[in-house]
Amino acid sequence: MNADLLDADAVSRGDALGIMARKIVEGYRVGEHRSPFHGFAIEFAQHREYAPGDDIRHLDWKVLGRSERYYIRQYEQDTNFVTHLVVDGSASMNYGSAKVTKLQFAKVLAACLAHIILLQRDAVALALVDEDVREYLPRTDNLQRIQHIMDRLAAFQATGKTSLGTALQKVSREAKRRGLVIIISDLFDDEEGFSKALERFTFSGHEVVVFHTLDTYELTFPFDGTWEFRDLESDAKLKLSPDDFRRSYLKNFGEFQARVRRICDKFQAHYLLVDTGKNLAETLSGYLAFRQTLGS
C-alpha cells in the first residue's frame, strides 16, 4: 500500500527538524533560505511563466484575464529551495536479508523526505533511475502532490542494470535551479561515472547528499556453511563457503566504501552510510539534526 511509504515516526521527527539548505539556493518563493534571485515576499520583482507543480496561489489572475496565459508573480526576498530526490532502482537494490529490501527502504526514505520538504513549503522533484532515468517528476511545492509521488515510488520496480553516473548526468540537466540533490543508492556502479556526476552537480552550484543504502548482511557478511550467491543484475552464480573469503570480502567492501566517501568529500557532498537493518526514523532524524548543527 502506498500509505506504507510514509513512516509515521520518521515523518514526525523529520517535520520537527526540517531540512535547511547549507548553500545559497535558487528558488521561487519566500522561505527560510537566502537567495540571490527571486522569491515570493513583499516587493514585486517580475513575472515568470507558470510551470506544472507551481502553487496556483501565486498566479497573476489579471494577466491571465488579459492574455489567457499563466504567469507567476515573483518578488525580491528570501526563497525556497528545490530538492531533487534520486532513487536507484537497479536490480541490486532488490536485495534484502530481512523483510525490507534496499529498494523498499529507499522508497520509504524518499517518501518521508518529500513529505518533510513539501510540508515546509519547499519544492521536490523525483528521479527514478537505473541505467537511465526511468521516470522524472518535475518539481512541485504542493503538498497535495505527495500522493502522486508515493504512487510513482510504489510502482517503481528494480529490474535494470546500473549506470548511475549516466542517469545522474541526465538528472543534472533537469536540475536547472541551484538547490539540493539527494541520491539514495547502493552505489554498485562505475565510481568514475559517479564522480563525474557529482562534479557536474557541484559545478552547477548544487548541494549534494548521498544516502549510501546497504543491507546489514552486505556490511557484515555473517554467512556460514555453503551458499550460492547470485548477481542480481547479471544472474551470474557462485557456490562457495563464505568462511573461505570473509576476510577478503570485508576488506574489499571497506575499501569500496572508503573510495565512495573520498569522492563525496572531494565535492563537499554529505555522505551518510545507511544500514537498512536499522530504524529509519533514527537514521533520518539523526542526519537532519546533524544538518541543523551546521547552520545554513
Map out the domains of the chain as residue ranges.
Answer: 2-22+81-291, 42-76
Q: What percentage of the chain carries pLDDT values higher than 70?
A: 73
Q: Is the pLDDT of residue 187 over 50?
A: yes
At residue 234, the pLDDT reads 66
Name the nearest CA neighbour of 3 among 80, 107, 85, 86: 107
Q: Considering only 16-30, 41-55, 111-125, 175-189, which range has the smallest mean pLDDT?
A: 16-30
Higher pLDDT, 242 or 75: 242
What is the average per-residue pLDDT within 99-115?
A: 92
182: β partners: 85, 209
Max mean pLDDT among 19-33, 170-184, 205-219 falls in 205-219
99, three cell numbers: 523483510
- Report the pLDDT value the prediction gives residue 276, as an integer from 0 to 100: 94
- What distances in angstroms separate CA 114 from CA 67, 119, 123, 242, 277, one per listed residue? 35, 8, 8, 39, 22
Distances (CA, A) of 164 to 68, 132, 144: 42, 7, 30
3-state secondary structure the chain: CHHHHCCHHHHHHHHHHCCCCCCCCCCCCCCCECCCCEECCCEEEEEEECCCCCCHHHECHHHHHHHCCCEEEEEECCECCEEEEEEECEHHHHCCCCCCCHHHHHHHHHHHHHHHHHHCCCEEEEEEECCCEEEEEEEECCHHHHHHHHHHHHHCCCCECCCHHHHHHHHHHHCCCCCEEEEEECCCCCHHHHHHHHHHHHHCCCEEEEEEEECHHHHHCCCCCCEEEECCCCCCEEEECHHHCHHHHHHHHHHHHHHHHHHHHHCCCEEEEEECCCCHHHHHHHHHHHHHHHCC
The model's confidence at residue 219, banded by pLDDT at 50, 70 and 90, is very high
Looking at the domain 2-22+81-291, which fold is it? Rossmann fold (3.40.50)
Angle separating helix axes 191-203 and 246-266, nearest 10 degrees: 20
Residue 292 in this model has a pLDDT that exceeds 80: no
295's CB contacts (< 8 A; 6+ apart) are 20, 22
| pLDDT reported for residue 22 | 46
Q: pLDDT per residue over 25-64, tens digit each? A: 344 333 444 443 333 334 444 556 767 766 666 667 676 6
Does the pLDDT value for residue 167 go beyond 70?
Answer: yes
213: cell is 543504502
Distances (CA, A) of 252 to 34, 150, 176, 245, 258: 43, 36, 37, 11, 10
Compare 130 and 228 and report the one with higher pLDDT.
130
Predicted TM-score (pTM) of the model is 0.77
Span 6-25, mean pLDDT? 60
Q: How far apart are CA 173 and CA 162, in angstroms?
A: 19
- Are 90 and 158 in contact, with CB atoms under 8 Å apart? yes
Mean pLDDT across the chain: 80
Nearest Cα to Cα of residue 19 among 62, 83, 103, 110: 83
Average pLDDT over residues 83-102: 92
Return the pLDDT at 56: 67
Strand-by-strand arrangement of the 43-49 sheet: 38-39, 71-76, 43-49
For the ranges 84-88, 221-225, 233-237, the maximum mean pLDDT occurs at 84-88
Supply φ then ψ for residue 139, to 5 degrees.
-60, 145
